[in-house]
Amino acid sequence: MRLADHTTIRLGGPARDFVAAGTEQDLIQAVGAIDARGEPLLILGGGSNLVVADEGFDGTVVQVATRGVRHGPEPGTVCVAAGEDWDGVVAGTIAAGLAGLECLSGIPGLAGATPIQNVGAYGQEVCETITQVRAYDRDTRRVRTLDRAACGFGYRTSRFKRDEARRLVVLSVTFQLSAQALSAPVRYAELAAALGVEIGDRVPAGQARAAVIALRQRKGMVIDPADPDTRSVGSFFVNPVLDAAALRAVETAARVRCGAGTTVPRFDAGDGLVKVPAAWLIERAGFAKGYSPGDGARISSKHTLALVSSGSATTAGLLALAREIRDGVIDAFGVSLTPEPVLIGVTL
């Protein structure tokens, strides 16, 4: 079983064994049996945030294929099985008259991956609406329920990714959404402009969803087999979070490199920190949309943060491009970019 057939970037060699778990009990039993044998295990969701080595994975891949969406008991409460398609979940909540996930429309992958990555876009993050996550603990061999505080959410991370990536297997996620037809307040300037509203305004949730999908499509961030720019893992690097000293250093470098009047874009990250768009740094470091070293891996022609693969690309080539970009940004601005996808059998 080639893992390239199960990832959105279409890269990755074979797995030694492959199991599809259609129920929660199947998932728990499969993971437990593999652990009892002491074999390497890879939990696979939608493959939208996964980069696998060309050599593949010398162990068993368990694909999460569980299904189920349950509403209640409280108004706006929605419990979702880990294997549900994420965009289908978002569409379903909006159809049910609920708001709180609309800005996360069009993101590929499964619901179970959203708390791991603390998925966010256009001013929303799933941690704002998640109330609990049920997970199988591979060490104790029991199912645990973690409330929002116990999930350890941070910017594009959580305890499921940072501290206990191996130990906890997400089974289901519960959200508390707003039982109204209006979106959460619009926080993102690009989205506000697309909607023709001011920051802080609310719009019908379905209208916000449509605008987000249109924005993502223009950036090649909605999976489309006819669009080669969507053969990616979405954003390859996270936006760096800088303190005041690091920001001053970037501003100084930007003025030298780009001109005295250059303004470095930034967004408040709390506690005196700011987020600087990684795409802005990459472009000013000399890497334009469509850039390719000629081995089949390239930067998307629509969005500088997406690295895409052609039919001739390899994982080794993709990682070489990622290293070239990372090193170029370090040389230009002194900022080290962190990869967003999970890397299996490879390092950056």
Tens-place pLDDT, residues 227-285: 999 999 999 999 999 999 999 999 999 999 999 989 999 988 889 999 999 999 999 99
pLDDT confidence band for 168 (50 / 70 / 90): very high
- Catalytic residue, chosen from 24, 84, 125, 340, is 340
Query: What band does 158 get if pLDDT is binned at 50, 70 and 90?
Result: very high
pLDDT digits (tens, 9 = 90+) for 288-314: 999 999 889 999 999 999 999 988 899
Asked if residue 182 lies in contact with residue 146, where contact means CB atoms within 8 angstroms, the answer is no
**The pLDDT value given to residue 1:** 82
pLDDT at 165: 84
125 is catalytic: no
Tokens of 85: 């398609």
**Of 134, 156, 216, 298, which residue is the catalytic one?**
156
Is 340 tagged catalytic?
yes
Q: Phi first, then psi: give them for residue 64, nearest 5 degrees.
A: -80, 110
Residue corresponding to tokens 């970019």:
337
Domains in the chain, CATH or no CATH each: 3-64 (3.30.43.10), 69-218 (3.30.465.10), 228-344 (3.90.78.10)
CA terminus-to-terminus distance, the chain: 25
For residues 105 and 165, the model is more confident at 105
Active site residue 10: no
Confidence check: pLDDT of 163 > 80: no
- Cα(221)–Cα(29) distance, rounded to whole angstroms? 35
Q: Residue 113 pLDDT > 80, yes or no?
A: yes
- Per-residue pLDDT tens for 10-42? 999 999 999 999 999 999 999 999 999 999 999
Active-site choice (232, 235, 300, 309): 235
Strand spans (E) along the chain: 15-21, 41-44, 50-52, 57-64, 69-71, 77-81, 120-121, 124-125, 130-137, 142-147, 168-176, 241-242, 267-270, 273-275, 297-299, 307-309, 342-344
The H or E element that residue 321 is part of is helix 315-333
Nearest 5°: the CA angle 293, 297, 303 is: 100
Distance between CA 108 and CA 344 in Å, rounded? 19
157 C-beta neighbours (distance < 10 Å), count: 17
Instruction: Return all residues near 311 (Cβ < 8 A) that are at least 6 apart.
Output: 296
CB atoms within 10 A of CB 295: 16
Which DSSP category does 99 fall into? Answer: B
Phi-psi sector, 296: left (phi>0), alpha (psi -120 to 50), beta:
left
Q: Which residue type occupies 215?
A: L
